[in-house]
Amino acid sequence: MNQEAGPGIFRALLSGPPPSSADSMRELVILGTASQVPTRTRNHNGYFLRWDGEGLLFDPGEGTQRQMILAGVSAARITRICLTHVHGDHCYGLPGVLSRMALDGVGHPVHLHYPATGEDVVRALVSVSSPGIDLRLHPHGGSGSVAEGLEVRPLRHRIETYGYRLTEPDGRTLLPDRLEAAGLRGPDVGRLLREGFVAGVHLDEVSIPRQGQRFAFVMDTAPCDGAEELADGVELLVAESTFSDDDAALATQYRHLTAGQAGELAGSAGARTLVLTHFSSRYDDVALLAAQAGSRAAQVRVLAARDLQRVPLPERRRRQDAAPQAGPADRTHCQTGARGTE
């Protein structure tokens, strides 16, 4: 293992072969939804975000390797592992996952992001894993980018904790009818995307703006500025909801969110979909938590996560300054300066 920096998420997609149809998918696979104590129906934390050719594993708690098998998630698809902090329910599954990757002969680099103050714990967990994978360690501290398209913000928990935000660059949606009218096809379209101008045609004449998709992961925190910055305008927000609003005193004591606070975070941030998770074992039925969050998250789709559930990333928002919209069959998505990733 080493601390060599690797390519960012979108740079990796650009430098590799075009994504196949099987790889052109964006979804969240929920591997576990329990907080400190697992239950008969809820495993410890674990969340796999499939983002085209990249696979990001967040907070692999105890039992994550088995949950991946049950969910049909191959260890070979993991390209990054992101730890919010080093409490056991967020990282004790790391040795098993790394060992499985070594057993499967994973050949690509695997980037591990974590708070620098958790260095000793992370190295201890890595040391008891089977060797054999190209593991790149990326400790971080403070706000900022940790890879191209991936950034962190500090949260407010009992130990140093960071949330993650994934942001796709804005791009353009090509309009095939306008391309045809301009006589552009084949290699000329590629040149137009790279250079913005070809054969007397500007890119903005044959396309409309397309806002990149955004995802945020907010675990183990009291309400704070960092959580708000991470959640701002995302399509999909995964947020802890350890306690019911009725147990707000416990949430304050242990620096967690209540369901209502998670809903308020999503609503004020303008998130499209909120996935609640990290539930205390005191709640057998989390429908009440979803209702509490929903009451404070107007116009936000609220889901109480279930183990092994799959949540597709919501469709992109439409840019307000876009040209008159074409029909779905008349659009081709692209990313300026990069291959399309849908």
**Residue 100 near residue 73, CB atoms below 8 Å:** no
Catalytic residue among 23, 52, 59, 89: 89
Q: What are phi and psi of 185, to 5 degrees?
A: -160, 165
308/70 Cα distance (integer angstroms):
7
CB 33 within 8 A of CB 41: no
For residue 261, the Cα-to-chain-centroid distance in whole angstroms is: 21
Kindly tell me the sign of the dihedral angle through the C-alpha atoms of 3, 45, 91, 165: positive
Give the C-alpha separation, 306 to 43, whole Å: 10
Residues 86-112 as b or e (16 or more Cβ within 10 Å = b)? bbebbbbbbbbbbbbbbeeebeebbbb
The CA distance from 163 to 151, in Å, is 8
Q: What are 51's two structure tokens?
A: 């983002």
- Strand spans (E) along 43-134: 46-51, 54-58, 80-82, 110-115
Active site residue 89: yes
One-letter amino acid of 140? H
Packing angle of the helix pair 259-269, 287-294 (nearest 10 deg): 40
Give the active site residues: 89
